[in-house]
Amino acid sequence: MQAADRLISVIDAINIKVGKTVSWFTFLLVVITIYDVLMRYVFKAGTIWIQEAEWHLFAANFMIAGGWTLLRDGHVRVDLFYAKFNPKTKALIDLLGTIVFLLPFCALVIWASVPFVIASWSMLEVSPDPGGLPALYLLKTVIPVTFILIGIQGISQLIKNLYVLIKGEIKS
């Protein structure tokens, strides 16, 4: 069980660090958006690259924080019944959901996106818009990274749910 505890600690620490890091993207996004609004509406001088930077930062922040959101149990859940279940029933539902849906979906997205990302890196893909951002391949790399982070957090959550089912104790 020490190995499982260590794995949980490592995975959770990774997603906590990633979550705290990408939270700064929100601050940067606010600054860039204010700059964009001022330039476009006050000085009548907007640029494509600023608008794309807004989209890219929003996408990166939203996606990369997915593992952290799973750790914090922040993903949307329809819990008409779930909220009333005891911890063991919740753990069983979460365990089955992780095995049947979460991990296979993460594997599918990683498998499908890696060739897409490799192709983008091989041509050092840039924005198709004149004056757009130069490194579109970096944004595309976020796709498999996101699902790796969500997938490993799913493994951590799976182990925690096994603890609840086997030992009756909740690991945090």
Q: What is the DSSP letter of 82?
A: G
Average pLDDT over residues 12-37: 94
Helix residue ranges per DSSP H, 81-135: 87-97, 103-122
pLDDT score of 171 more than 70: no
Is residue 160 within 8 A of residue 171, CB to CB? The reply is: yes
The pTM of the full predicted model, rounded to 2 decimals, is 0.90
pLDDT tens readout for residues 108-132 = 999 999 999 999 999 999 988 888 8
Residue 133's pLDDT is 87
* Distance separating the N- and C-terminal Cα atoms of the chain: 15
Q: Which residues contact 170 (CB under 8 A, 6 or more apart)?
A: 87, 160, 163, 164
Report the mean per-residue pLDDT for the chain.
92
User: Residue 172: pLDDT band by 50, 70, 90 thresholds?
Assistant: low
